[in-house]
A and B are shown apart, each in its own frame.
Chain A
Amino acid sequence: AQSVTQLGSHVSVSEGALVLLRCNYSSSVPPYLFWYVQYPNQGLQLLLKYTTGATLVKGINGFEAEFKKSETSFHLTKPSAHMSDAAEYFCAVSESDTGRRALTFGSGTRLQVQP
């Protein structure tokens, strides 16, 4: 079975500061990993994904994440936070052996950006 743990349900940073949102996964086979963002009153939108290949993945809006197999982690970072980054972020996993398995989402991390 696959699962995702997001450490910290709320993260607050100052504008211009580093953003670090943590995600650890559990999967019995090589995982596919995703970060989605949800703005208020909207659906989820894909930020970035890792399937195979380069372990450092770049996404939209300046975000990136690094797949670390030894740590079973896929943390999301952004060097400099912007007010528009305030949203809820979800890490998700699916298993590569059977593509039929739908995404399993973490519980989400709400990011606040202080002026």
Chain B
Amino acid sequence: DSGVTQTPKHLITATGQRVTLRCSPRSGDLSVYWYQQSLDQGLQFLIQYYNGEERAKGNILERFSAQQFPDLHSELNLSSLELGDSALYFCASSVEQLNTGELFFGEGSRLTVL
């Protein structure tokens, strides 16, 4: 158990819909990262937050947005969903802002868009 909690574990929805994925980082971790894992794209970095502020942006679509709340949990919002958004979305956390340390990954939220 990494200590990172993601909900929901599975989600099935239709094209055009909007969903919210939630992540609770390990106790004490200030950084939260979102990654998308799909068969064709592999593991793609989406976005990073540190103590409530956006720190780095990767290949995140404009239809996607995220935020980190004062209690440090984070939400990833996916809107106007397309079939290609079907993937496993991982949240990871680390205690520090810098990438010299270890990322702790949750078990992921599997999104299926029909």
Task: Give chain A's interface residues, CB within 8 Å of chain B.
Answer: 32, 36, 41-46, 49, 51, 90, 94, 96, 99-108
Contact = CB atoms under 8 A, between A and B. Distances in A.
A105 B100 CA distance: 15
B99 to A, nearest CB: 4
Chain A CB within 10 Å, residue with most, of B48, B55, B90, B105 = B105
Nearest to A42: B107
Interface majority SS (helix, strand, loop, mixed), chain A = loop
Contacts of B4: 43
B39 to A, nearest CB: 10
B45 interface: yes
A103 B42 contact: no
A106 B98 CA distance: 20
A6 to B, nearest CB: 10
A105 B97 contact: no
Contacts of B106: 43
A68 to B, nearest CB: 20
